[in-house]
Amino acid sequence: MAAASGSYETIAARVETEIEIERSRFICTLARIGSEDAAREVIAGVRAAQPKARHHCTAFLVGANGELARSSDDGEPSGTAGQPMLEALRGEGLGDVVAVVTRYFGGVLLGTGGLVRAYTASVQESTRAATRVRRSLRTRMEVRADYERGPALEAELRRIGHVPLHVEYGADMRIDVGVAPSEVAAFAARIAELTAGAVPCAATETVYVDDPA
């Protein structure tokens, strides 16, 4: 899930797909989340939107390496839904994601093997439909410049590939840039070079951020 370079993939936006197997409908809702509470909010929302479904089986992974993993069979035979869904998410290399598969029973029993295949396929269908986003570990560098230097500095940063994470206008201009942890010293030196040492630059935190599209 997390690469050696300190990156992993999640999805850009919520998707919903549906497959039908032996007259049973399997509707998968796949959403990006950042915490267990957020995952449970998505699950509750799907349950509320489709109260007549027989099952709402779930799986979610939180963190770059899926440090928090949870799943539920929601009344299906043990091990036939939630765990296969979780393994499908892991197999796709995704993190910070929740899957809810809503099943409307079609009257035909699928057996344990059939259920495992159906729930796995339902999640895989949604992962194929989703747009993916790569997140990388970056140190947030805070650059503060006056309005004489700030706009030109922002333009130069963009030109050399450092797209700002955030730009704030106040008494001065604050430009936040995400830099690979190994490049912090070089980035600070570059800012000093571009501004003749007149613009302060400080590392604030190291977090995962979305890579520029």
CB 135, CB 6: distance < 8 Å: no
Judgement on whether residues 117 and 151 belong to the same structural domain of the protein: no
* Residue 2 counted as domain residue: no
Judgement on whether residues 78 and 54 belong to the same structural domain of the protein: yes
Q: Which amino acid would we find at residue 116? A: V
Judgement on whether residues 98 and 166 belong to the same structural domain of the protein: no
Q: What pLDDT is recorded for position 31?
A: 98
Judgement on whether residues 115 and 163 belong to the same structural domain of the protein: no
Mean pLDDT of 148-160: 93
Judgement on whether residues 59 and 160 belong to the same structural domain of the protein: no
Between the CA atoms of 81, 65, 132 and 143, what dihedral angle is there, to the nearest 10 degrees? 150
For residues 108 and 48, what is the distance between their CA atoms, to the nearest angstrom?
25
* Residue 34 counted as domain residue: yes
pLDDT confidence band for 212 (50 / 70 / 90): confident
Domain count, the chain: 2
- What 3-state DSSP class applies to 73? coil
Residue 199 has pLDDT above 50, yes or no: yes
- What 3-state DSSP class applies to 44? helix
Domain containing 155: what range? 136-210
CB 66, CB 26: distance < 8 Å: no
Residue 156 has pLDDT above 80, yes or no: yes
Q: What pLDDT is recorded for position 4?
A: 43
Instruction: Out of 108, 130, 152, pick the residue that ends a domain.
Output: 130
The rounded Cα 206 to chain-centroid distance in angstroms is 17
Longest pairwise C-alpha distance within the chain: 75
Q: What pLDDT is recorded for position 5?
A: 54
* Residue 195 counted as domain residue: yes
Instruction: Out of 130, 159, 193, pick the residue that ends a domain.
Output: 130
Query: Exposed (0-12), middle (13-18) or buried (19+): which is 9, by Cβ within 10 Å?
Result: buried
Q: What pLDDT is recorded for position 49?
A: 96
Judgement on whether residues 124 and 141 belong to the same structural domain of the protein: no
CA torsion sign, 56 to 57 to 63 to 64?
Answer: negative
With a pLDDT cut of 90, the percent of the chain lying above it is 87
pLDDT confidence band for 1 (50 / 70 / 90): low
Number of H helices, E strands in the chain: 5, 10
Q: Which of 133, 110, 144 shows the shortest CA–CA distance to 34? A: 133
For residues 36 and 59, what is the distance between their CA atoms, to the nearest angstrom?
11
Q: What is the CA radius of gyration of the chain?
A: 22
CATH code, domain carrying 182: 3.30.70.240
For residues 139 and 209, what is the distance between their CA atoms, to the nearest angstrom?
9
Judgement on whether residues 70 and 141 belong to the same structural domain of the protein: no
Which residues, 6+ apart, have CB-to-CB distance to 114 below 8 Å?
21, 22
Residue 18 has pLDDT above 80, yes or no: yes
Mean pLDDT of 61-77: 95
CATH code, domain carrying 119: 3.30.230.30
For residues 175 and 190, what is the distance between their CA atoms, to the nearest angstrom?
14
* Residue 199 counted as domain residue: yes
* Residue 1 counted as domain residue: no
Judgement on whether residues 37 and 96 belong to the same structural domain of the protein: yes
Mean pLDDT of 83-100: 97
Residue 134 has pLDDT above 80, yes or no: yes
Q: Which of 134, 112, 115 shows the shortest CA–CA distance to 123? A: 115
Instruction: Out of 130, 165, 198, pick the residue that ends a domain.
Output: 130
Judgement on whether residues 88 and 169 belong to the same structural domain of the protein: no
